[in-house]
Amino acid sequence: MASFQYSGVRDGKACSGTIEAPDRRQAITLLAGQSVQLQEIEEKADGGGGAGSALSLRLGGAKKIKPRDITILTRQLATLLEAGFPLARALEFVSRQESTGPMSEMVADLSASIQQGQDFSQALSEYPKYFGNIFLSMVRAGETGGILDAMLVRLAEMREADEALADRFKSAMTYPAMMMGAMVIALGVMFAYVVPQFATMFEDMGRALPGPTQILLNVGDFAATWWPAVVAGVVVAGAGFKAWVKTESGAFQWDRTRLEMPVLGNFMAQFAIARLARTAGTLLESGVNLIDAFASAGDVSGNRYISHIMQRALADVRHGKPLAESLADAPVIPSLLREMIALGEESGQVGPMMKRVAEVYDRQTRETVSGITSIIEPFMVLFMGGVVGMVVIALLLPIFEMSTGGV
């Protein structure tokens, strides 16, 4: 086993380290599985570094295990198994990383369990927080069919696609949130420092103030007097809302309301349908039956209202009704999904059809994010400019009236 030193870029950041592999080609394959864009790789003359350096992208350095860490682990194991490494050896490579932390400890524990004769799915089941039912079902199916490497590849692809989808959603929401925060700060500064100075000046003038100016000063007085109560009210309302959406009925109603929002509702529906279709397609291609596949897919869609619709449709399927027909009158479910399910049921290819649906909605989410961004950016700029402009006009209006009155 040779050791190779490498340097490259991953997720836009420079990375370097040592990796152990039978040859240079295998080393490059392993690094590609870690999403490393290689810039340089060379064999170490002393062969040092140990087997644990084989996956030198540090999984265990974080204080807690993140979903992204599980995805990286899945991709790494899939790459190692495809390269011909036994599962126990692949886990040993990961567990011998130089870093320490919960991730490395978990992988070491998984490695020990495999060496003691446990099935991989059984070892993973000891960590239900990180490996859900879908993950375990696919690993179990891979073990039974002798295609664990292929199942891990599918899991990695599914998780990577879901994470990319979630990143697009976050990017669409980040800019408006930042702009709103900036506007709140700007207005806070104006009401805390600028408006009081103008209020003092207007009192010294002893003149009747225009309506807009008087309203602005009243708002400023209210904010100065009652801001602790306002802040407390916002905090209490936020805590109450958070507690409500954690309840079954609250989460259901909120998820339904989100789908009915203008513009964003359509995007959230695309996001949920893409996840549902991709998960169902992956499970069906892995040998899971249709009812269990769509039940699990509904649960991980990220929207309880859509999950409820799917569960209600599956109840009809259990009584012999085709799934496409059961979804015929279902709200929110797009016609494309129903038609592709119908074609899949006719041809016995529901899994591949769902993969195509996921691709369609992945593309639509990218286009929607681009469209939302192009619309929201100028809108937010105009909105902020309008609000600040109205405040400035209200403050300057008495001065304008004095100057015109004095002419």
Lowest mean pLDDT among 24-28, 107-111, 283-287: 24-28
* Predicted TM-score (pTM) of this structure: 0.62
User: Quick one: average pLDDT of 230-243?
Assistant: 92
3-state secondary structure the chain: CEEEEEEEEECCEEEEEEEEECCHHHHHHHHHHCCCEEEEEEECCCCCCCHHHHHCCCCCCCCCCCHHHHHHHHHHHHHHHHCCCCHHHHHHHHHCCCCCCHHHHHHHHHHHHHHCCCCHHHHHCCCCCCCCHHHHHHHHHHHHHCCHHHHHHHHHHHHHHHHHHHHHHHHHHHHHHHHHHHHHHHHHHHHHHHHHHHHHHHHHHCCCCCHHHHHHHHHHHHHHHHHHHHHHHHHHHHHHHHHHHHCHHHHHHHHHHHHCCCCHHHHHHHHHHHHHHHHHHHHHHCCCCHHHHHHHHHHCCCCHHHHHHHHHHHHHHCCCCCHHHHCCCCCCCCHHHHHHHHHHHHHCCHHHHHHHHHHHHHHHHHHHHHHHHHHHHHHHHHHHHHHHHHHHHHHHHHHHHHHHHHC
Q: What is the pLDDT of residues 398-407, one digit of tens each?
A: 877 777 754 4
Q: Which residue has the tokens 């409820």?
A: 308
In-domain check, residue 33? yes
At residue 173, the pLDDT reads 76
User: Quick one: average pLDDT of 51-80?
Assistant: 68
> 38-54 burial, b if ≥16 CB within 10 A, otherwise e?
eeebeeeeeeebeebbb
- How far is Cα 337 from Cα 314, in angstroms, rounded to an integer? 15
In-domain check, residue 149? no
Please indicate, yes or no, whether residues 213 and 96 belong to a single structural domain of this protein.
Answer: no
User: Percentage of residues in the chain with pLDDT exceeding 70?
Assistant: 88
In-domain check, residue 35? yes
Mean of the per-residue pLDDT values of the chain: 82
Please indicate, yes or no, whether residues 254 and 343 belong to a single structural domain of this protein.
Answer: yes
In-domain check, residue 142? no
More confident residue, 6 or 336: 336
Lowest mean pLDDT among 39-43, 338-342, 386-390: 39-43
Domain count, the chain: 2
- Asked whether residue 59 carries a pLDDT value surpassing 60, the answer given is no
Nearest in space to 69 (alpha carbons), one of 101, 23, 114: 101
DSSP 127: -
| CATH number of domain containing 345 | 1.20.81.30
Lowest mean pLDDT among 6-10, 65-69, 170-174, 339-343: 6-10
Quick one: angle between helices 211-246 and 195-205, nearest 10? 150
At residue 221, the pLDDT reads 81
At residue 266, the pLDDT reads 84
Please indicate, yes or no, whether residues 80 and 184 belong to a single structural domain of this protein.
Answer: no
- Asked whether residue 206 carries a pLDDT value surpassing 50, the answer given is yes
Q: What is the pLDDT of residues 105-120, one digit of tens each?
A: 888 889 888 988 889 9
In-domain check, residue 156? no
- Asked whether residue 3 carries a pLDDT value surpassing 90, the answer given is no
- Asked whether residue 352 carries a pLDDT value surpassing 70, the answer given is yes
Band the pLDDT of 62: cuts 50, 70, 90.
Answer: very low
At residue 313, the pLDDT reads 93
In-domain check, residue 144? no
- How far is Cα 165 from Cα 275, in angstroms, rounded to an integer? 8
Please indicate, yes or no, whether residues 122 and 169 belong to a single structural domain of this protein.
Answer: no
- Asked whether residue 350 carries a pLDDT value surpassing 90, the answer given is yes
Q: Which residue has the tokens 């993950």?
A: 135
Please indicate, yes or no, whether residues 84 and 205 belong to a single structural domain of this protein.
Answer: no
| CATH number of domain containing 114 | 1.20.81
Please indicate, yes or no, whether residues 115 and 228 belong to a single structural domain of this protein.
Answer: no
- Asked whether residue 2 carries a pLDDT value surpassing 70, the answer given is yes
In-domain check, residue 140? no
In-domain check, residue 395? yes
Structure tokens at 191: 């009401």
Please indicate, yes or no, whether residues 53 and 166 belong to a single structural domain of this protein.
Answer: no
Please indicate, yes or no, whether residues 101 and 232 belong to a single structural domain of this protein.
Answer: no
Nearest in space to 182 (alpha carbons), one of 395, 389, 393, 380: 380
Own/partner long-range contacts of 364-368 (Cβ < 8 Å, ≥24 apart)? 364/270, 364/274, 365/165, 365/168, 365/169, 365/267, 365/270, 365/271, 365/274, 366/168, 368/172, 368/266, 368/267, 368/270
Please indicate, yes or no, whether residues 167 and 226 belong to a single structural domain of this protein.
Answer: yes
User: Quick one: average pLDDT of 140-160?
Assistant: 86
At residue 12, the pLDDT reads 60
Band the pLDDT of 326: cuts 50, 70, 90.
Answer: very high
Please indicate, yes or no, whether residues 252 and 309 belong to a single structural domain of this protein.
Answer: yes
Q: Which residue has the tokens 């490498």?
A: 6
Range of the domain at 266: 161-407
Please indicate, yes or no, whether residues 235 and 336 belong to a single structural domain of this protein.
Answer: yes
Query: Would the CA dihedral through 194, 195, 200, 202 be positive or negative?
Result: positive
User: Quick one: average pLDDT of 24-36?
Assistant: 69
Q: What is the pLDDT of residues 151-201, one digit of tens each?
A: 899 888 888 888 887 887 787 778 778 888 888 888 888 777 778 878 777
Chosen domain end from 111, 131, 151: 131
Please indicate, yes or no, whether residues 99 and 211 belong to a single structural domain of this protein.
Answer: no
Structure tokens at 394: 């209200």
